[in-house]
């Protein structure tokens, strides 16, 4: 029996039969008890709803939430329309759940692709949708903090730099005194094993692009749950690295690159400067990629500040061509180096292909 039913039963038993004043007092008490019961029931129902769905939707509340996450006016109106279309009963949930946001944006991208507009207009719409994802993710990642390697989760992708070379791998476990990671492989598929106590630098990034780095040493090697792992000293001095504006994703695919020269074409008033790629290119390995740039390992890196043209594939054999600038070069052993490249010119179609690969939506 509910609490309200118990109250009614008690009143029925104890209600005075010949005292009007007492009857009125009892009825007032019953009304107050009923009001409290209804209010508490509603509060309990609100607490039981998922975060984001308990908020009543108003356009003002939605736009304030969007503004707090860094969305501009166009992005806010776009997300508002999408949330009302695909989450009509809980539009505010796009701010509370990354999964809900991804579902809404994925549906929107699929719908745009079926429209009869020109390709350039469709690519512009899709790019706006990806920018919404990037902006919200960047905002939500700004408050993350890691002080110790004991906070790094299993499966986290990391990059180990030692003796001038950089290798991508993933964390396999956290033991009491060491952090374990899968032994990285070189370009020929062989394990890279450094001597014990070799100093290393480890970098990793959380969702939203916030990066962290720490210094460690190689403690040894072991096999954990069938995975050949390197053992790294734990560290309580994890520092925040420069926050990436765009999420990066490991790629590990061939990339062809060409040096670009700025040449003057034409004469007089018709003269104009034009970027002209060299006809002879070189082969490298695209290590990771984002909407803003990439990292390429090659035997013949271009010098810092060189202009470059890149050709590579993401997934599903999607060809991508971009122009960029070499921001830095780090030496690799025994030869070659790593080029860190900032994209300077990219079509909407190629940008969306990169975003589709990185965010796995659309």
Q: Please give the CATH architecture assigned to the domain spanning 149-240.
A: Roll (2.30)
How many beta carbons lie within 10 A of that of residue 214, not counting itself? 24
Instruction: Supply the DSSP symbol for 346.
Output: -
Q: Cα separation of 325 and 232, whole Å?
A: 35
Residue whose tokens read 């070659």: 336
pLDDT at 230 over 90: yes
Residues in CB range of 226: below 8 A, 6 or more apart: none
pLDDT, one tens digit per residue, over 239-274 is: 876 556 788 888 989 999 999 998 887 777 777 878
Q: pTM higher than 0.75, yes or no?
A: no
Contact indicator for 301, 338 with CB cutoff of 8 Å: yes
Helix extents (H) in the chain: 3-14, 20-48, 59-68, 73-86, 98-113, 119-141, 348-359
Contact indicator for 268, 310 with CB cutoff of 8 Å: no
Rounded to an integer, the average pLDDT of 230-241 is 88
Rounded to an integer, the average pLDDT of 206-234 is 87
How many beta carbons lie within 10 A of that of residue 117, not counting itself? 11
The two tokens of residue 360 are: 């796995």
Q: Which CATH superfamily is domain 249-359 in?
A: predicted glycosyltransferase like domains (2.40.10.220)
Contact indicator for 157, 250 with CB cutoff of 8 Å: yes
pLDDT band, residue 76 (cuts 50/70/90): very high
Q: Percent of the chain having pLDDT more than 70? A: 81
The DSSP bridge pattern shows strands 307-313 and 293-298 to be unpaired
pLDDT, one tens digit per residue, over 97-156 is: 999 999 999 999 999 999 999 999 999 999 999 999 998 887 765 555 788 898 898 989
């Amino acid at each position: 029996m509910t609490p309200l039913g118990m109250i009614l039963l008690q009143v029925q038993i104890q209600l005075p039969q010949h005292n009007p004043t007492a009857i009125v007092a009892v009825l007032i008490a019953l009304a107050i008890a009923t009001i409290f019961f209804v209010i508490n029931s509603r509060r309990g129902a609100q607490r039981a709803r998922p975060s984001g769905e308990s908020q009543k939707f108003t356009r003002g509340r939605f736009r304030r939430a969007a503004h707090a996450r860094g969305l501009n006016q166009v992005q806010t109106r776009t997300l508002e329309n999408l949330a009302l279309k695909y989450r009509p009963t809980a539009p505010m949930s796009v701010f509370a759940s990354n999964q809900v946001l991804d579902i809404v944006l994925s549906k929107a991208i699929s719908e745009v692709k079926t429209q009869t507009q020109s390709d350039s207009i469709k690519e512009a719409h899709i790019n706006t949708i990806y920018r919404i994802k990037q902006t919200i993710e960047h905002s939500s990642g700004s408050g993350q903090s890691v002080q110790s390697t004991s906070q790094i989760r299993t499966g986290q992708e990391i990059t180990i730099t030692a003796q001038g070379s950089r290798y991508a791998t993933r964390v396999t476990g956290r033991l009491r005194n060491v952090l374990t990671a899968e032994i990285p492989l070189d370009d020929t598929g062989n394990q890279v094993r450094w001597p014990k106590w070799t100093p290393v630098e480890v970098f990793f990034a959380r969702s939203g692009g916030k990066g962290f780095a720490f210094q460690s040493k190689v403690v040894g090697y072991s096999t954990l749950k069938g995975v050949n792992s390197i053992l790294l000293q734990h560290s309580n001095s994890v520092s925040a690295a420069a926050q990436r504006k765009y999420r990066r994703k490991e790629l590990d695919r061939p990339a062809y690159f060409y040096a670009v020269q700025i040449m003057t074409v034409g004469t007089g008033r018709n003269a104009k400067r034009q970027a002209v790629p060299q006809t002879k290119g070189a082969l490298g390995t695209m290590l990771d990629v984002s909407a803003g740039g990439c990292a390429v390992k090659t035997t013949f890196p271009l010098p810092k500040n060189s202009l470059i043209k890149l050709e590579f594939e993401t997934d599903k054999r999607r060809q991508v061509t971009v122009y960029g600038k070499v921001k830095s070069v780090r030496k690799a052993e025994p030869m070659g180096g790593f080029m860190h490249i900032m994209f300077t010119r990219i079509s909407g179609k190629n940008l969306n292909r990169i975003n589709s690969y990185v965010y796995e939506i659309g």
